Copies of this chain bind each other. A is one copy, B any other.
Amino acid sequence: MSQVNDHLKIKSVKRETLSNQVIDQIIELLLSGQLKPGDKLPSEMELIDMFMVSRPVLREAISSLETIGIVRRKTREGTYFTNKIGSKPFKIMLSLSVGDIKAFIETRIAQELGLVTLAAEKISDEDLGRLKDNIEKMEAREGDAIELDKEFHRIIAYSASNPIIEGIIDPLLNMIDQTQETIPPEDRDKAYTIEQHKEIYAALEIRDPIESYLCMYRHLDHARKRILARHEAKNSFDLDQK
């Protein structure tokens, strides 16, 4: 069905609300290069004159753009295009998937596996240094080091320095942090984690994409199985309780 629409390139027949048209036009200001990220948009009154629409219509449009993180409004000051590509809409999307823990975990794994492959090609010496530091800190630290573990994965995520991927992985990692669906401390074998981190680091250091992937796969697969097993156990427990 959507195939048909995609193919015919018809702009969704109806649903050409004035506000939607305004949204498109404002985005067009960006795409055409007339305005750049960070630039100030004309004031509401000016935009009203430009687009020849009423204020509610304009405000609905800008309001939409704001919630998807394309512009930022400041009372009295004006409306600005955001300078960084927004991860906001994806974040909202994700928040609607809460509950589907399995999909989350899978997505996270898929992202990290793809990422580490890229990272192996692009990682900077600086980021490699950070990883090394991270591992050393983890070895030195007494007891658990969940925060360091998270940091390790974040460094890799950003080392691919790809804005689109960052927009995906960033809200994803945040969301997972929030849901607390991490590996419980009692299950963690710190020494084993460090060993795997070292393997990943070694593979990244020699810029070997495939070897990096293999190490990361072993690392994540191991963790995932435990998380999912625990999760399913909990679910069946919940069912039993009913």
Contacts and interface: CB of A to CB of B under 8 A. Distances in A.
A143 interface: no
Contacts of A86: 93
A47 interface: no
Q: How large is the interface on A (under 10, 10 to 19, 20 to 34, 35 or more residues)?
A: 35 or more
Nearest to A72: B15
A200 interface: no
Contact of A64 (B63, B104, B112, B210): B63
A110 B106 contact: no
21 contacts: A31-B95, A31-B98, A60-B63, A63-B64, A64-B68, A68-B68, A70-B92, A87-B93, A88-B89, A89-B92, A89-B93, A90-B90, A97-B163, A97-B164, A100-B164, A103-B162, A103-B164, A106-B162, A113-B213, A114-B115, A209-B217
Interface string A158-179: 0010111101100000100000
Interface in A73-114: 75, 85-90, 92-98, 100, 103-104, 106-107, 109-114
A109 B209 CA distance: 12
A6 interface: yes
A70 B92 CA distance: 9
B68 A93 contact: yes
A175 B86 CA distance: 17
Contacts of A112: 114
A57 to B, nearest CB: 9
Interface of A: 6, 14, 19-20, 23, 27, 30-31, 56, 59-61, 63-70, 75, 85-90, 92-98, 100, 103-104, 106-107, 109-115, 117-118, 160, 162-165, 167-168, 174, 209-210, 213-214, 217
A185 to B, nearest CB: 20
Most B CB contacts (10 A, CB to CB) among A20, A68, A110 go to: A110
Contacts of A69: 93
Contacts of A23: 67
